[in-house]
Amino acid sequence: MSEIIWISHRGLHDRHAENSMLAFRAATDAGFTHLETDLRCTLDGRLVLHHDPHLRRTCGVDARLEDLTLDQVRQARLPDGQHLPLFDEFAERFDRQQWILDIKPESGERTLTLLHDWARRNHALQWLPRKARFLLWRDQHYPLLYRYFPGAVTMADRGECRRAGLSVLCGMSQLGNIRHQRTYSIPPRYMGRNLFRRAIVKAYQRHGARVLAFLPEKETDIYRALEGGAQEILINTRPPLPP
């Protein structure tokens, strides 16, 4: 791995189910030091790693995760036979890695409360904000996060990224409220236009912001992100070998 921060998006899921213990183990075996995952909670208050609100796509179960108890969730199986992992399992197994925790909006307040309870029980109230950065989707969740974890670092949310991106594309980055040391995600292209160009990345960095290349799928796009100067790259695959 180079000085670039390579982040594994839901683990390496070319052979294993996304957001599974085997996918994250494959990512760490491949050298990833940063893991991104999604947090939701069950009806009876357990934190589970899962992206979608429903289990249809991942487990073939026509139910919302938040409407099921842990016992019911444990009966579901991912396509490769694994069960959905609990956050407890993830935290214990991958405590040497850095995390990005995507707090899904449907039950975000409850998820944050349960995460705070977990941190309190495990004497990790100061440790967790050093271990993880957070992605939130609703404005009302920010005060709760900062109350539970005063030192928490959040990623720029979708609205911030769109506003910043449009201002940069219009050549008026000063209007985008781009903040110092905040990490903004940019996709490979917008309306066919390459967004990983150095001029675009530099427009963010002039404001002291960090740029995360968001899910480049093609190897050519990954190299463009590297050449453009992105500091972080979030990918589903392994980093390419040096040219």
pLDDT in tens, 119-170: 999 999 999 999 999 999 999 999 999 999 999 999 999 999 999 999 999 9
Residues 6+ apart with CB under 8 A from 126: 151
**Cα separation, 160 vs 185, whole angstroms:** 9
Fold of 158-235: Rossmann fold (3.40.50)
- Half-sphere exposure in the Cβ direction for 206 (13 Å, CA): 14
Q: pLDDT of 62-71, one tens digit each?
A: 999 999 999 9
Above 60 in pLDDT, residue 13? yes
Q: Identify the architecture of domain 31-154 in CATH.
A: Alpha-Beta Barrel (3.20)
CB 100 within 8 A of CB 132: yes
| Amino acid in position 243 | P
- What is the model's pLDDT at position 242? 64
What pTM did the predictor assign? 0.96
**Cα angle 33-232-220, degrees, rounded to a multiple of 5:** 110
- For the chain, the structural domain boundaries read 31-154, 158-235
Which of 190, 195, 193, 187 is CA-nearest to residue 217? Answer: 187
Domains 31-154 and 158-235 share a fold: no
Q: What SS3 class is residue 38?
A: strand
